[in-house]
Each structure stands twice: as structure tokens, then as C-alpha cells.
């Protein structure tokens, strides 16, 4: 695929796909940063949160219009129709040590909350265009994202992590942006 395209207005835009630089899922006291899968939702007794971070240095503080930005996670087994949303992390976290008690602070805005369906072995996407625009504008620093739920029932989904053997199924962020004139 070409790294650029023309949008419907004839303006040149750039399309990039970024692989995750770190990811983990956590519950109250356990870190799962080295596993090949990520759980998001609510387990039998606790919330399961997915943390993922991408290198966004290409757009950080760039004068750009973010045309679209999607966080894509590859589901690998049929799961529950849980409502999951994305929030921005506002402090640092480390993949091998993150647990609930040292998890990063979060921005209050929920992005693209929706039920993810019950299919297996498919992609689930979240539209995070406004979140990425805030990073590009310098309103947020990139510390990654969390995918989580407000549900308190035993509803969870499983996704492939950046440690999965097939790189085509790892978490990705697809950005389409247009540079603005100074």
C-alpha cells in the first residue's frame, strides 16, 4: 500500500500503520505483559484493562489535521458482547511491571464506546481520531491508551498482543493525516 493518498477534496494525505511498542493487560495484582494475548472487560471478580502504546513521534506537535485514526485489536476467540472504550493514559507505565495499583492516570474522555460483538478471529476497531488530534496539537502527551469497560458482569474479550508470533495479527494504529500550512 502506498503511504499517501488523495482524500475526497484532492488534498494529499499520509496513511501510516504503526505497530504497538508495548502492551499488557492487568487485573488487581497480576501483570500479563509477556503473554501473546490481552483480555479486556470484566473477569469473574475484577476489571481487566488492556494497555497499549505506539510510537507517535511522527505526529506529536505536528501541524496536522488527523483525518482518521483507528486502534485495531485482533480478537482470537469468540467472546462476549462487552462494551469496550478507549481512554488516553496521562502518565507513564512499564509493560513488565504494570498492575492495578501502579497503573497510569487516565484522561476522563471515553472514545468510541461500543459493544464488540461475539465473533471470533476478527478485527475490532476503535475510532480514536479526536484523541490522536489532541496528541498532535500538544494537548496530550502520548503515554498510550487503555481499553476497558464499565461493566461489572463476567464479560470479557481476548485479543492478540504484540508478542503474538504472527505480526499481521498484532495491535496496530492506523493514522491518516494531512499536513497544515504554517
What are the b/e assignments for 141-163, b being 16+ CB within 10 Å? ebbbbbbbbeeeeebbbbbbbbb
Written as one string, the DSSP assignment of 99-113 is: -GGGPPPB-S--EEE
Where does the pLDDT of residue 4 fall: very low under 50, low under 70, confident under 90, or very high at 90 and above?
A: very low
pLDDT tens for each residue of 118-148: 777 899 999 999 999 999 988 999 999 999 9
pLDDT tens for each residue of 39-73: 888 877 778 899 999 999 888 767 789 999 999 99
Domain segments of the chain: what residues? 19-179
Task: Give the β-pairing of 37-42 and 155-160.
Answer: antiparallel
pLDDT tens for each residue of 97-123: 999 899 999 999 999 998 888 777 899
Per the structure block, which three cell numbers stand in for 6?
488523495
Is residue 173 over pLDDT 80?
A: yes
Is residue 169 over pLDDT 60?
A: yes
User: 19-179 adopts what CATH topology?
Assistant: Jelly Rolls (2.60.120)
What Rg value do the Cα atoms of the chain yield, rounded?
Answer: 16
Amino acid at each position: 500500500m502506498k503511504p499517501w493518498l488523495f482524500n475526497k477534496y484532492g488534498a494529499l494525505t499520509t496513511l501510516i500503520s504503526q505497530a504497538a511498542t508495548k502492551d499488557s493487560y492487568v487485573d488487581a495484582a497480576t501483570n500479563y505483559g509477556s503473554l501473546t494475548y490481552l483480555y479486556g472487560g470484566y473477569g469473574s471478580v475484577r476489571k481487566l484493562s488492556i494497555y497499549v502504546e505506539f510510537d507517535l513521534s511522527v505526529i506529536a506537535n505536528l501541524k496536522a489535521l488527523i483525518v482518521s485514526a483507528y486502534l485495531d485489536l485482533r480478537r482470537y476467540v469468540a467472546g462476549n458482547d462487552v462494551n469496550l472504550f478507549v481512554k488516553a493514559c496521562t502518565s507513564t507505565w512499564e509493560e513488565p511491571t504494570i498492575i492495578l495499583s501502579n497503573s497510569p492516570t487516565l484522561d476522563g474522555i471515553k472514545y468510541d464506546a461500543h459493544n464488540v460483538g461475539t465473533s471470533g478471529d476478527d478485527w475490532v476497531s476503535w475510532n480514536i481520531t479526536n484523541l490522536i488530534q489532541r496528541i498532535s496539537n500538544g494537548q496530550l502527551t502520548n503515554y498510550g491508551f487503555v481499553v476497558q469497560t464499565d461493566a461489572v458482569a463476567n464479560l470479557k474479550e481476548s485479543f492478540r498482543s504484540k508478542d503474538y508470533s504472527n505480526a499481521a495479527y498484532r495491535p496496530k494504529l492506523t493514522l491518516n493525516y494531512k499536513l497544515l500550512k504554517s
